[in-house]
Every structure is written in C-alpha cells, then in structure tokens.
Amino acid sequence: MTNDNLQIAIDGPAASGKSTVARMVADRLNAFYLNTGEMYRTITWALMNKGITDFENDETLSDFLASSDLRYSLNDQDDLVLFLDDEVVDINEVRQPEVTANVSLVAKRPLIRQWMLERQRSCAKLGLLVAEGRDIGTVVFPNARWKLFVTATPMERARRRLAQSSEVEAGITLEELAKQIADRDRIDETREVSPLKPAEDSIIVDTTGLSIEEVLDKIAGIVK
Ligand code: DC
C-alpha cells in the first residue's frame, strides 16, 4: 500500500509544462520522479513495433501485456529509469510524433490502464515520489500530499511544443499542432476510465504567460 504523505501528484494536459515542473520539483525535494506518460508512450511504441495497430482488440492487447515487462528501476545515480523487457527505454524514441499520434488511443483502453496502475503504484514503496500524468491525483495516488493541475491555453501549449522541434513533425504549422493537441486532450478528457480532469482537491496552476522560473516560484509557494 502507499503512504499518503509520500506523493506529489502533477497532472495536466499535453504540453502544459508539467514535465519540466515535475522534474524540477523532484530535484528540489530530492524525490524520485515518475513520468507516467512515458510508460503509456513506451507501450504504444512497443505495440506499433510489433505491427499491432488495432488497439480496440482486448485479446491482442491482453496477450501483448502478458508477455511484456515494463518497470521503473533505480540506476547507479539513484534515478528512476524505465525498462521494457530488460532494456532501458530510449525516451527520444517514444516521444516521436508517430507515437504521440497513437498514444491516447492506447491509453484509453481499460485493460492497459489497469495494467499500468499496478506498476505505477508499486513505485510508491521507494519513498518521496513526484509523479506526473493525467490521473495521478484522481486515480493513481488519490491520497497524495499535494496535487497540482498544471495547465495553459491551447495556443500557448502549441507554441511551447513547436519549440521542442524533436517532438513534432517537420514543417507542421502552429495551427495544425494546436489541433493535434486539442484532439489528444479531447480523447484524454472523454475516455471512460480515469479521464483527464483536476482532482477535487487539486490546486490549479495556470502557466500561461509565465516563465519556468515564475512557475517554479508559484509552486514553491504551494509545496513547501
Ligand atoms: O504526458 P504525455 O503527453 O507524454 O502523455 C502521453 C499520453 O499518455 C497522453 O496523451 C495520455 C496518456 N497518459 C494517460 O492517459 N495517463 C497518464 N497518467 C499519463 C499519460
């Protein structure tokens, strides 16, 4: 089981800046950092690699999950590192646009979410954990000590994502990217199991127009 005081939940929509925030909060608090989006991306990437694109087929998904091992383990620097079947996951690989285009379709499948939940919760035994995702405060760690919901306007998020050129298709326009982000948000917000939404007791942090330093100052005032 989880110790209620040992988790900080950081949720929010795509490209809201929550990863940057979560990583820095974890650094400042000397806590472990858990990026659950990367877990969903890794499974999506692995499915695509196997040529599985019918994400609605529970039998196929179930067989795939039964033969897959996804887990976070500590490396020599005491950082949590994601492993898939004993190989370190290449984070650049799973952040590619082709994976991004499919990840919400995989993440909405109840079978996948249940499988992830056990693996995410098991990280709680490590100690102080900053976990980021879409359902950390609502489902994964509902008793987390602090819950933040980091957000920004769709246009601001698209602008930020465009600046991370390795994660977007070459030549994509700001408007196209804003639409892709909005489509992904819609799937994440409307799925039946653990949709993206702020927990009732979360603090909303709107990062629109703020620099990273300003966001961190804001959060430092909350998470002491
Ligand atoms: O944080 P990210 O953009 O890397 O997440 C990728 C996708 O994974 C996101 O579109 C929805 C899904 N996800 C989820 O459903 N639940 C989480 N806790 C984290 C991510």
* Shortest-distance Cα residue to atom 11 of ligand 1: 104
Q: What is the CA(126)–ligand 1 centre distance, in A?
A: 22
Are the C-beta atoms of 91 and 35 separated by less than 8 Å? Answer: no
Domain 7-223, what architecture? 3-Layer(aba) Sandwich (3.40)
**Per-residue confidence in pLDDT tens, the chain, 224 aa:** 445 568 999 999 998 989 999 998 999 889 999 999 999 999 999 999 999 999 999 999 999 999 999 999 988 888 899 999 999 999 999 999 999 999 999 999 999 999 999 999 999 999 999 999 999 999 999 999 999 999 999 999 999 999 887 788 989 999 999 999 999 999 999 999 999 999 999 999 999 999 888 988 888 888 87
* DSSP 8-class letter at 12: -
What is the per-residue pLDDT for 110? 97
| Rounded distance between C-alpha atoms, residue 140 and residue 133, angstroms | 10
* 3-state SS, residue 119: helix
* Phi, psi (degrees; rounded to nearest 5) at 71: -155, 155
**Domain parsing of the chain, residue ranges:** 7-223
Q: Which residues line ligand 1 (CB under 6 A)?
A: 14, 36-37, 40-41, 103-104, 107, 133-136, 184, 188
Distance 191 CA to ligand 1 centre (A): 12
Q: Return the pLDDT at 6.
A: 83
